[in-house]
Structure 1
Amino acid sequence: MSRVEDDKSATPGLQDALKADRLPIWRLLAFTMAGFIAILSETMPAGLLPQISRDLGVSEAMSGQLVSLYALGSVVAAIPLIAATRRWRRKQVLLLAIGGLFLFNMATALSTDYVLTLIARFVAGMAAALIWGLLAGYARRMVPHHLQGRALAIAGVGQPIALSLGVPLGAWLGTLFDWRGIFGIISALTLALIVWVVAAVPDYPGQAQNQRQPIRKIFMTPGVRPVLFVLFVWILAHNILYTYIAPFMAFVGLANHLGLVLLIFGFSSVIGIWITGQYIDTRLRFLTLISLATFAVVAMVLGLASELNGVTYLGVFLWGLTFGGAPTLLQTAIADAAGEGADVAQSMLVTVFNLAVAGGGIVGGLLLEQMGAGSFPWTLAFLSLFGLLTVWACKNNAFKPDRRS
């Protein structure tokens, strides 16, 4: 899928990129916006729970299931949808996915029935899964091989921005509009994105019959499973703390500074993905090792010095710095390992990612209830060390030390 020679004739855009040896930024930013809207659609309701619960006549806990059903739709649909559409032209599938997100975000905005709203959220999550399964492979096909990591970093920057801004942005917008109006705004942005994709994004053919490998064979490809394992423990660790960041900030005496903490995390995440984009094509293994090692050290420092506010702020900054590039690093690693099966491998990554997000909520909740928020740093350190050891051991297929060329 990433072989440039196969795609030279597919679009003048690729020929231009090859000739100038530079990135087609405007086209890649359409993918950035797609990822931003997909994550924003998922996280926004968390900042609007009081409004949603009053309007739909349910408890805030039941309103929270709007987030859960979206994630569940992504888990259920990612692999089947990507596998079923492998032979379709890529732009057709991308527009179908973005169009589905538009329709079912609008259905969420217009629905007055709780069950119908949950169904709309579930299908919107399915559309988001298809978007995430497409973005990495699509972005990589638009550039020559030695720029693929950088292109993926640009395409992926929407994710950390939306993750850090989704909840507080939802809460702030909730003071200006009702929750239905906010979903209407997201839908308008999605409609604009459809126009952007139609006008600017090049098209590519799907996979021929002889290129389509069985899903099990792709899963068993050397290097794919280690990347998925590292993804699971890394995202699980991240979401234990991110999901329960409010009680952890209360534990360290910063309950009134949650907005500042999220801002620091979001800012450093963007820096992290910028650094990743600069060096991923030459230092993928090093960046992954140093990110996991730093995350483990930061977690232990937070556990030992949680009463020092300055240390906590610094820890949050380094946490965001190391996490910002994580999705790009792992998307690139699994695409390199899977080869022609990269799109299906990306759908596996989406599935495992969402399972880890759900697992972070479950494990974090159990830890909070049984041991308190003070147990989070040590759990994070333990999980990140598991990931670090896996990356260290898997240098032949999954996390190669050589330059990506």
Structure 2
Amino acid sequence: MTTTARTPTTTGSVPATIPWSALVTLAAIGFVVLSAETMPAGLLPLMARDLDTGEGVIGQFISVWALGTVVVTVPAITLTRGMRRKPLLLTTLTCLVIANAVTAASSDVVLSLVSRFGGGAATGVLWGMLAAYGRRISPPSRGGLALAVVSTGAPVGFALGTPLGAWLGGVADWRWSFVGLSVLGLVLLLLAVLLVPDVAGQPAGERLPLQRVFLLRGVPVVLVVIFVWMLGHNTIYTYIAPFLRDTGTGLTADLVLLVYGVCSIGGVLLTAALIDRHPRGLLWASLGGFVLAAVLLVVGHATPAVVLGAAVLWGLTFGGAAPQLQSALTIAGGAESDLANAFLPVAFNLAIAAAGLVGALLIGVSGGLVLAVSMAVLGVVALLVTVAGRATFAARG
């Protein structure tokens, strides 16, 4: 039996205006979080060669980050629900900066993997609080807009962070990509100190037990969609270089990721324009387009124009996935949106960890081209889940 969400309780004074500078800062933190997580996907061959290891091992740089998020996020958010938000934000962002700096400096694979695990742990806490933080520092009547602004960080990280990191690694050295993330993290740390207001944690008497939050109506459905869709996306995204190599098209990972990334921004804009009025139709169209992009990669993998066209459609349809699903999860969580959102990075990162392992297995057994097939199959499964749980994705005020 499921439990319905309660009406959120406002703590402290009600904000009178949208704090744009603070929301953009939170969104930029989301950009750094996502870029840091997926950066090795665009640098796979360069990192493998420099660290004298295989591409499958570098793929685990993403998986171990995801594992850190999975292991730490829910316990950390559960234990920190009563803490004031700003000190928690600054502490975890500092840990992220340190983790990226260690990755940039390390020449030891084991140390690099440890730093990646630590970075994943820090970002799990960040993901669990960013969306609800943005809503709480904004007027209640503009909570949806605040969530949309904060949620753009993740898709823009997918859109630009990884392609830019791949480009910088190609023209300079892969380590400079992680140095850049560390510097940007320091800048955002300063901006957060100056621009982001503090809010209180959740009073002890208002907190639901963890298992009851998980069973809030709609939460399990959203989490299943997140896991399956992300697994379909990230299995090929992580190993895009081996996939492209096996197509024989001569297309490079940085070019395809850039095309995908630019079009992902278009997906974010489409989501912002349609999500309040047509959330369910938007989600179905996004998943349908994602499956079509995968089919194009399967049947037209030998033609550069088809592969690039599929990358365009891939970006347009997956670019808005994070804000669409985060919005659904935040609404389903109600007053427990912080803890409900803590499940989001767990689902995402379970999928990312699985994608690193599944992708390595698939390319080891069948080569890179099979990754497009897995993308299509998992996209269809995610679409079927949204149809079965369609009430979860309807518009709600």
TM-score by length of 1: 0.86
Contact 1:42 1:70 in 2 (8 A): yes
CA separation of 1:2/1:151 partners in 2, compared to 1, >3 Å: closer, same or farther? farther
Structure 1 position 399 matched with structure 2 position 393? yes
Deviation per CA, 1:246-280, whole angstroms, max 9, x where unpaired? Answer: 23333443233433221110011011011111221
Structure 1 position 97 matched with structure 2 position 114? no
What secondary structure does 1:222 align onto?
coil
Name the % identity: 41
Q: Indicate the structure whose relative CO is greater, using CA pairs within 8 Å and at least 6 residues apart.
A: 2
Cα shift at 1:2: 10
The more displaced of 276-285 and 327-336 is: 276-285
Unaligned 5+ runs, structure 1: 18-23
Deviation per CA, 1:180-215, whole angstroms, max 9, x where unpaired? Answer: 555443222212111111111122111111221111
User: C-alpha separation between the residues in 2 aligned to 1:310 and 1:177?
Assistant: 28
Identify the residue that residue 20 of structure 1 maps to in structure 2. none
Identify the residue that residue 305 of structure 2 maps to in structure 1. 310
The more displaced of 317-326 and 285-294 is: 285-294
Contact 2:59 2:238 in 1 (8 A): no
Identify the residue that residue 6 of structure 1 maps to in structure 2. 10
Identify the residue that residue 288 of structure 2 maps to in structure 1. 293
Q: Please report the RMSD computed on the Cα atoms of aligned residues, expressed in angstroms.
A: 2.8
User: C-alpha separation between the residues in 1 aligned to 2:242 and 2:44?
Assistant: 18
User: C-alpha separation between the residues in 2 aligned to 1:27 and 1:355?
Assistant: 30
Cα shift at 1:57: 7.0
Count of matched residue pairs: 393
TM-score by length of 2: 0.88
Contact 1:35 1:155 in 2 (8 A): yes
Contact 1:284 1:399 in 2 (8 A): yes
What secondary structure does 1:221 align onto?
coil
User: C-alpha separation between the residues in 1 aligned to 2:147 and 2:250?
Assistant: 36
Cα shift at 1:240: 2.0
Cα shift at 1:67: 3.5
Structure 1 position 339 matched with structure 2 position 340? no
Structure 1 position 365 matched with structure 2 position 360? yes
What secondary structure does 2:208 align onto?
coil
Letter in 1 for 2:205: N
Structure 1 position 72 matched with structure 2 position 67? yes
CA separation of 1:216/1:189 partners in 2, compared to 1, >3 Å: closer, same or farther? same
CA separation of 1:389/1:168 partners in 2, compared to 1, >3 Å: closer, same or farther? closer
CA separation of 1:289/1:48 partners in 2, compared to 1, >3 Å: closer, same or farther? closer
Letter in 2 for 1:9: S
Deviation per CA, 1:328-383, whole angstroms, max 9, x where unpaired? Answer: 11111011111122111111110110111122222233333434444334432322
Letter in 2 for 1:121: R
Contact 2:166 2:174 in 1 (8 A): no
Identify the residue that residue 241 of structure 1 maps to in structure 2. 236
Cα shift at 1:305: 3.7
Contact 2:147 2:327 in 1 (8 A): yes
Cα shift at 1:54: 7.5
CA separation of 1:279/1:149 partners in 2, compared to 1, >3 Å: closer, same or farther? farther
User: C-alpha separation between the residues in 2 aligned to 1:55 and 1:296?
Assistant: 35
Matches within 5 A, 1:381-396: 381-396=376-391
CA separation of 1:249/1:121 partners in 2, compared to 1, >3 Å: closer, same or farther? closer
